[in-house]
Homo-oligomer: A and B are copies of this chain.
Amino acid sequence: MTHSEENYLKAIFHIGKGGANEISTNAIAEQMETKPSSVTDMMKKLSEKNLVNYKKYKGVSLTAIGKSMALSIIRKHRLWEVFLVEKLDFSWDEVHDVAEQLEHIESEKLIDKLDKLLDYPKYDPHGDPIPDKNGNFKVMDKKLLSELSVNDKGICVGVKDSSSQFLKFLDKNKIALGDIIEVIDKEDFDGSFQLKINANSFNVSSQIASNLYVQITE
């Protein structure tokens, strides 16, 4: 498996949200920042290797093997992100690009040992679940903050947008995973939220609210 092949599998998995949906050529091209014609070439190759189901003009989906490979790469990506944050003191907005490289290192032993060193983490620094060796992970029952109603209370457990910009914004405003968030009020006019985060009052725009995941506690 080449790096490129791995990246395509990962892209298909992410676009399809792990399901068996049919993914369009254009969607993959966009995600990969490449051209549709390049995607077609690659789909033929991955199909030849039985990693995707591909029928001309009909889109692609991952085969069981393709899916398990995608999950293995995602596992590596997220474990490395944890490593960078926990062991090397990277901040959560700096880890993604390095993990994009590290995820392609081939060594079963390496990743097992890393998993152990990190004490078998279940989530990465952005709240995304880390598949185990067999590709299994439990999806957390979480909602976007924007879906909550007034008086709902929950724990901040993840980010939808994990761009450096957004993460730095959260840092600046001292919002972090694990924080307790209560919806005090919703502003109909602009969709902004009045919150209490760890006992401090806060107002966030609807854009922010629709990129934060919370687990409702009551």
With an 8 A cutoff between CB atoms, is A113 at the interface?
A: yes
By the criterion CB–CB under 8 Å, are B113 and A88 in contact?
Answer: yes
Q: How far is A207 from B166 in the complex, measured between Cα atoms in Å? A: 60
With an 8 A cutoff between CB atoms, is A87 at the interface?
A: yes
Within the complex, the shortest CB–CB distance from A79 to chain B, in Å, comes to 12
With an 8 A cutoff between CB atoms, is A195 at the interface?
A: no
In chain A between 72 and 97, which residues have their CB closer than 8 angstroms to a CB of chain B?
A: 84, 87-90, 94, 97
- For A102, list chain B residues within 8 Å (CB): 105
With an 8 A cutoff between CB atoms, is A106 at the interface?
A: yes
Among candidates B98, B106, B109, B110, residue contacting A110 with C-beta atoms closer than 8 Å: B98
With an 8 A cutoff between CB atoms, is A114 at the interface?
A: yes
Q: How far is A102 from B106 in the complex, measured between Cα atoms in Å? A: 10
- For A106, list chain B residues within 8 Å (CB): 101
With an 8 A cutoff between CB atoms, is A107 at the interface?
A: yes
By the criterion CB–CB under 8 Å, are B98 and A113 in contact?
Answer: no
Among candidates B90, B101, B107, residue contacting A113 with C-beta atoms closer than 8 Å: B90
With an 8 A cutoff between CB atoms, is A117 at the interface?
A: yes
Which residue of B is nearest A107, CB measured? B98
By the criterion CB–CB under 8 Å, are A110 and B84 in contact?
Answer: yes
Q: How far is A107 from B90 in the complex, measured between Cα atoms in Å? A: 12
Within the complex, the shortest CB–CB distance from A149 to chain B, in Å, comes to 42
> What is the 8 Å Cβ interface bit string for chain A, positions 91-134, against chain B (1 contact, 0 not)?
00010011001100111011001100100000000000000000
Within the complex, the shortest CB–CB distance from A109 to chain B, in Å, comes to 7
Q: How far is A84 from B105 in the complex, measured between Cα atoms in Å? A: 13
- For A90, list chain B residues within 8 Å (CB): 109, 113
Within the complex, the shortest CB–CB distance from A65 to chain B, in Å, comes to 23
By the criterion CB–CB under 8 Å, are B84 and A117 in contact?
Answer: no
8 contacts between A and B (CB under 8 A): A87-B87, A87-B117, A88-B110, A88-B117, A90-B109, A98-B107, A101-B105, A101-B106
